[in-house]
A and B are shown apart, each in its own frame.
Chain A
Amino acid sequence: MLTGLGFVAAAGIGAALRLVAVERWPGDHLGTMSVNVVGSFVLGLLAGADPTTLTIIGMGGLGTFTTFSTFAADAIGLAGTRVGNRRGRSLGHVVNTLVLGVGAAALGLTLGS
């Protein structure tokens, strides 16, 4: 019950914080990328935590703070912009997000263990 309430609170805060970060950042795909990289790092740090913390902070808070759907939408959106090398920008965004996100998660896993 308390875990459920904690999950709901953490998820609500995670979603609101993501919106703040994304809307304040110039060029919103960079905001989403930053959110995803930071969230991946912190989840890596927490990987060894107890199940309740993982459910509330990990799955609820960080799981909701980070997003895969907006990442996909940004990648497709960049391919449709009329500025510069469209495919290159889109592919670059995907590669940057993957490398930085997985790298941050790996760093978190290492520091947290």
Chain B
Amino acid sequence: MPPAHRLSPRDLFVVAIGGVVGASARWALLEATAGSDGGSAGPVLLANLVGCGLLGLLVGVARGKSVGRTTRLLVGAGFCGGLTTFSTFAVEVAAALRDADPSGAVGYTVLSVAGGLTVFLLGRSIGRRSGPDSIRDASC
């Protein structure tokens, strides 16, 4: 990654648009599963896994081909960042620990982290295969 660009108002607008669309998808997922047991843990886990996979795909494709800064901001930092969330995950885990449910806390953490990393790698390898180039460089 080259030294940080100076953020322009356009960058902020682009990331905000992607963020709103991603967050709305997360909200829709929560609404669609409202009433089913388990509260927000299941849909948030699903949103996080899908977002990790999509970001992996973008990083993989970006490796081989030129993916513009606008696309990276819109889809990566914007949509994937908005679809996924860390704060709800952290509060769910903290609440499980507070409610003396350590196995629930550990299970949810392992599913989220191991699942997120695995899906990210899966997405990245699929994305790389779709690109003509396979130069090794793990930064995005």
A79 x B120 contact (CB < 8 A) = no
A-side contacts of B140, CB under 8 Å: 73, 77
B-side contacts of A75, CB under 8 Å: 117
Interface size for B (C-beta < 8 A) is: 62
Across the interface, A102 reaches (CB within 8 A) one of B24, B56, B84, B94, namely B94
User: Does B71 lie at the interface of the complex (its beta carbon under 8 Å from any beta carbon of A)?
Assistant: no
List residues of A whose CB falls within 8 A of some B CB: 7-8, 11-16, 18-20, 22-24, 28, 36, 39-40, 42-44, 47, 55, 58-60, 62-73, 75-77, 79-81, 94, 97-98, 101-106, 108-109
B87 x A43 contact (CB < 8 A) = yes
Considering the chains assembled together, what is the distance between the CA atoms of A104 and B5 in angstroms? 30
Label chain B's interface by main secondary structure. Answer: helix
Report the 3 A-B pairs with minimum CB-CB distance, sorted nearest first.
A80-B138, A15-B19, A40-B90
List residues of B whose CB falls within 8 A of some A CB: 1, 4-5, 7, 11-13, 15-20, 22-24, 26-27, 30, 48, 51-52, 54-56, 59, 73, 76-78, 80-91, 93-95, 97-98, 105, 109, 112-113, 116-117, 119-121, 124, 136-140
A62 x B24 contact (CB < 8 A) = no
A-side contacts of B27, CB under 8 Å: 7, 55, 59-60
Name the distance in Å between A44's Cβ and chain B's nearest Cβ. Answer: 5
A-side contacts of B84, CB under 8 Å: 67-69
